Amino acid sequence: MEPEPLKMVWKTEISILGTEFSVEVFSRANGRGFALTRYSADDVIITDGRSVEDAFLRHNRALPLAIGCRLKTTMSAGHEIQN
């Protein structure tokens, strides 16, 4: 089985809790898209969407939660709490 042809549409940086994270947005052959952030070499955050724009918007909403779950510092009512 051949790998699905993917095309990177754009790449941007997003700041979350003072740290910059790269977001890569890809288009699939069927018109759908997904956004990807490499948190570490072994940890990748991926969000699918109906289109590349939808994937990017969903990723922007989900990424702060995904990053927060990976950090020892969490946000509660706007205040940082050390775990």
Q: For the segment 62-80, what is each residue's pLDDT rounded down to a tens digit?
A: 999 999 888 765 555 555 5
Task: Check pLDDT > 70 for residue 83.
Answer: no
Q: For the segment 16-53, what is each residue's pLDDT rounded down to a tens digit?
A: 888 999 999 999 999 999 999 999 999 999 999 999 99
Q: Which residue has the tokens 């997904």?
A: 34
Residue 19's nearest CA partner among 63, 81, 82 is: 63
Residue 67's nearest CA partner among 30, 24, 19 is: 19
Structure tokens given for 71? 């950090």
